[in-house]
Amino acid sequence: MSASSVDARRIELHHRAPVVPSPPPRFWLDFVNTDAAAQSPGGDLLRDFEALVSWLEGAEVIDAERAGGIRRRAVLQPAAAAATLVDARRVRAALRVLAERGVSSERVRDDAVVEINRVLGRSAGTRRLELAPEGSWTRTFVPTGDAFAGLMIPIVESAADALVADELSRVRRCADPRCHRVFFDGTKNGLRRWCDMGTCGNRAKAARHRARLQGAR
């Protein structure tokens, strides 16, 4: 593509809704962490269909234009929206089991693959390579047919990427027994134990410190 063509393309995109960038890697774990166990005492982040759409929009899985269309469709088809929420929670439950036990259980991995393929198999759409306003390229998925059908595709594809890349050995649950969050351990030695050092890690350090003080008495 010539420089003039790229400039013209940028001008065209300036008058359209911005292309949503690809979601961050391994964001299927963020989706798992929306459940009530991980959010305690805050409760399930997917408490209703609107919350699901808002989460997907905030995670840059869908853009504002598509989110608006889905919300309008939900008003017209409340039963379909409710069924989509139930399905999203089903996917999330399957992915939590994969995150927590997938590395040690072939049965769990097989069940997760069935669930992933179920979602991928029922949804249709077109994949495109788009030029973003700042000049970079991004992949997008444009669903066709049912407005709700493709909502879980990016989620399960993120989980599928973890299986393809053989990353489950680096996926673990926080070592704090009160915390149900799962995370990817990207450290060099693979010994990360806490979902966040500022919260769960500090609580563990404080507990060890108190135990040492009591032992010294």
115-149 confidence digits (pLDDT tens): 999 998 876 677 778 777 777 887 776 666 677 88
* pLDDT for position 4: 52
- Using DSSP's 3-state secondary structure scheme, residue 176 falls into coil
Q: Which CATH class is domain 3-216?
A: mainly alpha
Whether the predicted pLDDT of 56 surpasses 90: yes
Say if residue 204's pLDDT is above 80: no
Q: Would you state the pLDDT for residue 14?
A: 43
- Of residues 21, 80, 38, 3, the one with CA closest to residue 182: 38
* pLDDT, tens digit, 9 for 90 and up, residues 6-49: 455 444 444 444 444 455 678 999 999 999 989 877 799 999 99
Report the pLDDT value the prediction gives residue 21, as an integer from 0 to 100. 45
Instruction: Please give the share of the chain, as a percent, with pLDDT higher than 70.
Output: 77
Give the pLDDT of residue 55.
96
Q: What is the pTM of this model?
A: 0.77
Query: What's 168's DSSP letter?
Result: G
**Listed residue (188, 190, 200) closest to 103, CA to CA:** 190
* Average pLDDT of span 69-83: 96
| pLDDT at residue number 22 | 54
| pLDDT band, residue 214 (cuts 50/70/90) | low
Question: How far is Cα 108 from Cα 102, in angstroms, rounded to an integer?
Answer: 5
